[in-house]
Chains A and B, each alone.
Chain A
Amino acid sequence: MDKISPKIVVEYKVFATVVTLTQEKILEDMEITAIEHSIMPLINDADTVKMIINFSNVKFLSSAVLGLLIRISKKIYEKQGQLRLCCIDPKILNVFKITRLDRVFEIYDTQDQAIASFS
């Protein structure tokens, strides 16, 4: 049997749903679409969404991933939900700063801090 490589791991915590991206590099449209198709049902199927996206495994991404985050955030806000990002590598955080998305998203250093922001 082929090894299954999930694009995300989902954990349901008391105050939030934590989505951890599993890939070190997120570049290709197919990968981004797969992540989108995994995350969107979590939003669609919930009454209210408090979601944390954990970037601890991610070392490289393209601007297409930033577009995906915008689509996810719009979907969450449509449902009066809240989104937090956490554990972003400093090099990637710089990409957020250059594009000023650090002002759009609430970004926390650690997952615990992100969870605490909901509690």
Chain B
Amino acid sequence: MNANVKHIDCTGEPAVLSEICQKILLEAKSCEFDDDILFGLHLAIEEAFVNAVKHGNHGDETQKVYIEYNVSPEKVEIQISDQGKGFSPEKVPDPRCGDNVYKTGGRGILLMRAYMDHVEYNKTGNSVFMVKYRENTSDRMKKRQ
């Protein structure tokens, strides 16, 4: 992320998440990202933040969540980190397969990957970096050709 990155250190209360979400979405809206992208951004931020608090910080809403984000006309980049020991995202079962579809949880990462163009965890697994481009991947590839 570049020099325009904004940093937020916050606690894990739902009201805090709501405020941060609104802040990032307002910036994205001012850059004229469309409603579908805003919906996906909102969902991805919600799911990543909730995962950070529930799983990373073990539900302790007083522990810190660190957010870095950058909104530009081309893309929105967001990094959400928690104070936990991390996890292996590849070990999370696919919630679409077999009986997993009847489980009550485990869909957050799938939705983040579905709505964002790039989702990457650090090696420890306590920080996720996500990017949403204004144009989808195939449009960007066509422009490069």
Contacts and interface: CB of A to CB of B under 8 A. Distances in A.
Interface of A: 27-30, 60, 62-64, 66-68, 70-71, 74, 91, 95, 98-101, 103-104
- Interface of chain A, helix or strand or loop or mixed? helix
A63 B42 contact: no
Interface in B34-54: 35-36, 39, 42-43, 46-47, 50
Given A27-B46, A28-B14, A91-B39, A99 B104 contact: no
Contacts of B39: 60, 91
A63 B111 CA distance: 8
Nearest to B21: A27
A100 B94 CA distance: 11
B43 A62 contact: yes
B101 A27 contact: no
Interface string B101-114: 11111011011001
Contacts of A64: 50, 105
Given A60-B42, A98-B114, A91 B101 contact: no
Interface centre among B14, B96, B104 (most CB of A within 10 A): B104
Q: What 9 A-B pairs have minimum CB-CB distances, sorted nearest first?
A: A67-B104, A63-B107, A28-B14, A100-B96, A98-B114, A70-B104, A91-B39, A62-B46, A99-B107
Contacts of A74: 102
Contact of B105 (A63, A95, A98, A101): A63
Interface centre among A74, A98, A101 (most CB of B within 10 A): A98
Contacts of B101: 99-101, 103-104
A66 B14 CA distance: 18
B103 A70 contact: yes
B95 interface: yes
B50 A99 contact: no
A99 B43 contact: no
A67 B77 CA distance: 28
A104 B102 contact: yes
A62 B104 contact: no
B125 to A, nearest CB: 19
14 contacts: A27-B46, A60-B39, A62-B47, A62-B50, A67-B104, A67-B105, A68-B104, A70-B104, A74-B102, A91-B36, A95-B43, A99-B95, A99-B101, A99-B111
A67 B101 CA distance: 10
B108 A63 contact: yes
